Amino acid sequence: MSADESEWSDVDDALRLSTEAARIVLESGGETYRAEDVMAAVASSLGGLSPDSFATPTGFMASCDDARGRSRSVVKRIRKRHMNLEKIARVSSLARDAASGRLDQDGVERELCAIDSLGSYPAPLPSLGAAFVTGFFCLFFGGAWNDALVAAAIGVVIGMIMSWLGSMRLSEFFSNIVGGAIAAAIALGAHALGLAGNTDAMIIGAIMLLVPGVMIVNAIRDIIAGDLVAGIARAADAFISAAGISIGVGFALQSARVLAGVAL
């Protein structure tokens, strides 16, 4: 291999691995500035010069130069997004290790493959987490302990259904409509059977599992940091998710009022 080809190969490797790291950050729900910082740190540590990037929640563009000032660029499309803070933390740690020289190119590639292959939590944990969150939010919003137990059961059901809908790659908007409708329907059913009394607290506690809180925070952080395109995109995504929840809950409440004569 000639020296010219070797330079191109080094730049290509630096660009490939750095954009893979940025992709994992964005697909895991990380902020755009974090993806850009990770890309710059990894590319610089692997020999890429003048690394630059532009990230949005749905796409990523990056470039870097070789020793002769020739530029390479790449575009990545972000087609899936699922919150995984462990992946974000590990990629950030990888970028720091690469920048400090503790990881070479082979080490970076091995660690990225390991991070990308991380699965979700074992089966009982998401259900327990959903029950804990929805139950205690129900108490926070004025529900009694029997209301909280029903809300916890709703949380488990919603968690399982949302996971199933996610595996079908259904739009998050429609998934939230289904989740909101199920939360309201079960809460109304429990009230009708005399199992619980505070329908409002049960519904609010249950839908807190669906509220895009991290997305809203990231939208605000992106806007404050000057990443207006990414911030507005995330804010719009959060608004659409919230609208889906509202439509689902409203549909269930209105259906109960019309079909069963439930007083709301």
User: What is the mean predicted confidence (pLDDT) over 200-211?
Assistant: 92
The pTM of the full predicted model, rounded to 2 decimals, is 0.81
Instruction: Give yes or no for residue 144 having a pLDDT over 60.
Output: yes
Give per-residue pLDDT as tens, 16-42.
999 999 999 999 988 888 999 999 999
Q: Answer yes or no: are the C-beta atoms of 38 and 18 closer than 8 Å.
A: yes
Confidence band for 155, pLDDT divided at 50, 70 and 90: very high
Comparing CA positions, the residue from 140, 252, 126, 161 lying closest to residue 205 is 140
Over pLDDT 90: what percentage of the chain? 41
Instruction: Give yes or no for residue 119 having a pLDDT over 80.
Output: no
pLDDT at 80: 84
User: What is the mean predicted confidence (pLDDT) over 115-123?
Assistant: 79
User: What is the mean predicted confidence (pLDDT) over 225-248?
Assistant: 90
Lowest mean pLDDT among 80-89, 114-123, 184-193, 206-215: 114-123
Instruction: Give yes or no for residue 6 having a pLDDT over 80.
Output: no
Give per-residue pLDDT as tens, 33-88.
899 999 999 999 888 888 899 998 888 999 988 777 778 889 989 888 888 889 99
pLDDT at 88: 93
Give per-residue pLDDT as tens, 238-264.
999 999 999 999 999 998 888 776 555
How many Å is the Cα radius of gyration of the chain?
23
- Joined tokens for residue 194: 């005399």
Q: What is the 3-state secondary structure (H, E, C) of the chain?
A: CCHHHHHHHHHHHHHHHHHHHHHHHHHCCCCHHHHHHHHHHHHHHCCCEEEEEEEECCEEEEEEECCCCCEEEEEEECCCCCCCHHHHHHHHHHHHHHHCCCCCHHHHHHHHHHHHCCCCCCCHHHHHHHHHHHHHHHHHCCCCHHHHHHHHHHHHHHHHHHHHHHHCCCCHHHHHHHHHHHHHHHHHHHHHCCCCCCHHHHHHHHHCCCCCHHHHHHHHHHHHCCCHHHHHHHHHHHHHHHHHHHHHHHHHHHHHHHHHCCCC
User: What is the mean predicted confidence (pLDDT) over 111-137?
Assistant: 86
pLDDT at 186: 92
* pLDDT, the chain, mean: 87
